[in-house]
Copies of this chain bind each other. A is one copy, B any other.
Amino acid sequence: MYKKLDDTSLTRLLEAGIDEFAEHGLDKTVMSSIANRAGMSVGVIYKYFEDKDAFFLACVDYSLELLQQTMESVILNENDLRKCLKDLVADLISAAGEHRNYYRMYHEITSGSCGKYAAELAAKIESISAKVYTELLGKAEAQGRIAIKGDPRLFAFFFDNLLMMLQFSFSCDYYYERMKIYCGEENAADPQAVGEAFVDFMGTALGL
């Protein structure tokens, strides 16, 4: 039963890969399960990709593209800093819930077994978020609204750390459990509430 791959099939394959990798991690994922899930045969993966690692990296790229789209759709249409921040946080938190697996992929690459790609991947991902935060902080400074003590890069770093953890907390098992322990089930079940608390927290830190 031969079936030619149309142009959407590659996408289907990548998505199957993302689902499997997000669920089991790079090493525990079995190539033939990915093919199964995508409704095609293992061999085809090797027609398009060098090996498992290369395929994994392609899946990472694909999920990053989607994350990037999410981020870019957020920031550009607001003037009020606080509202801007609020929207950013709300959107990212709901994206984390909706596209759980893309964030799991993101988290997966931070793990030890991707060590050899650490530098390369960090550079690739940073280019996404740095853009957003530069813009955000730029606005704030232009408005003379914020009081950052010291190196603004460190400030951006802390901010992104927090935001990243929030996203992981709503997409990865371990961090979700951790959040429940810290904040209680009620809060963990109410992403928007956590987002608002975070905006308040950042508001204070920014001296808003």
Contacts of A155 in B (CB 8 A): 197, 201
Q: Interface size (A, Cβ < 8 Å)?
A: 65
Given contacts A27-B25, A162-B158, contact A118 B183 (CB under 8 A): no
A122 CB contact (under 8 Å) in B108, B149, B154, B181: B181
**Interface membership of A87, Cβ < 8 A:** no
Interface pair A174/B110, CB less than 8 Å apart: yes
Interface pair A204/B205, CB less than 8 Å apart: yes
Q: How many copies of the polypeptide does the oligomer hold?
A: 2
When each residue 160-182 of chain A gets 1 if its CB lies under 8 Å from chain B and 0 otherwise, what string results? 11101110000011111111111
Binding site for B on A (CB under 8 A): 21-28, 104, 107-115, 118-119, 121-123, 125-126, 130, 147, 149-151, 153-158, 160-162, 164-166, 172-184, 187, 194, 197-198, 200-202, 204-205, 207
